[in-house]
Structure 1
Amino acid sequence: MKKIVLLLVCSIFFSCNGQEKKVAKQSSKVVTTEEQWKAKLTPEQYEVLREKGTERPFTGEYWKHFEKGMYVCAACGNPLFTSDAKFDSDCGWPSFDQAIEGSVKYTHDSSFGMDRTEVTCAKCDGHLGHVFDDGPVKTTGKRFCTNSVSIKFIPAKK
């Protein structure tokens, strides 16, 4: 039997005078077995999202895709990037200059003799790609080099 367990974390904070209530963002972590991921994802998605693989450059569905909308994690649906953050870096993978705040995690990656920063989904830990400091200087200066297979596009409502 397939189960996806969502752990909900919610905190309530009160101001100093006790009158104003603020509720912190509710976040949930997806906990799924590798067998469940294999059943849910295509073999290519599994290789990239769960085994930290990389799709071949210039082959992914979204590397030259510039419609208005939102890009979400292909594994769990977590919103990751808006189309306003997407730009053409001509690197062969979809590139964004920023992620939605709190949507991704950053981890040092020294695999293959390189020194870089891995980007994973904050909700399911799926590997998305890497972030580099060679993005547009007019915005953040960052380039989130993202595997097309790790994301899904949701068009903006017209």
Structure 2
Amino acid sequence: MERDFPAPDFEGAARTRAIQHEGIRRAVGQGRLAPDVGAAMTSPDAGDWLASQGFEVVASLDDLQGPSSGPVKIPARLADRELSGHAELGNAWQRLQLYRRLLLTGTAEQQRQLLNLELLQRMWPQRLGPPALLRAWEDRFPELRHTSGP
């Protein structure tokens, strides 16, 4: 059975992306979005999801006061079937999933409460998110570029 699918509208997608990028630039100009986050959201490798959702980055790595071990309660908006409510930081997979979610969709306040600086530095070489997001963190905190993992 042959199906007719609509032709992709690449020009329409490009117009939508241009409008989206203009909104991001306006938000940066109005001080509602940090310039480094805005640059990451509009970079060619950001991808549509990152450009439309955005992300937050703490102001200082010294703000990261999360636990280094034990169980951690996961905020409801970050939880799903894989990490349903708690993550055990001693479990490498759960720790990795939690840190990825916190970088990608966590608020700066959630990052402050749940990310541990030493763990983040040890895990950083595992590439915890999309390149554009990681670049924003590394531009803000150059010391992350030089972390060497476990």
TM-score normalised by L of structure 2: 0.29
TM-score normalised by L of structure 1: 0.28
Normalized per residue, the structure richer in helix is 2
Normalized per residue, the structure richer in strand is 1
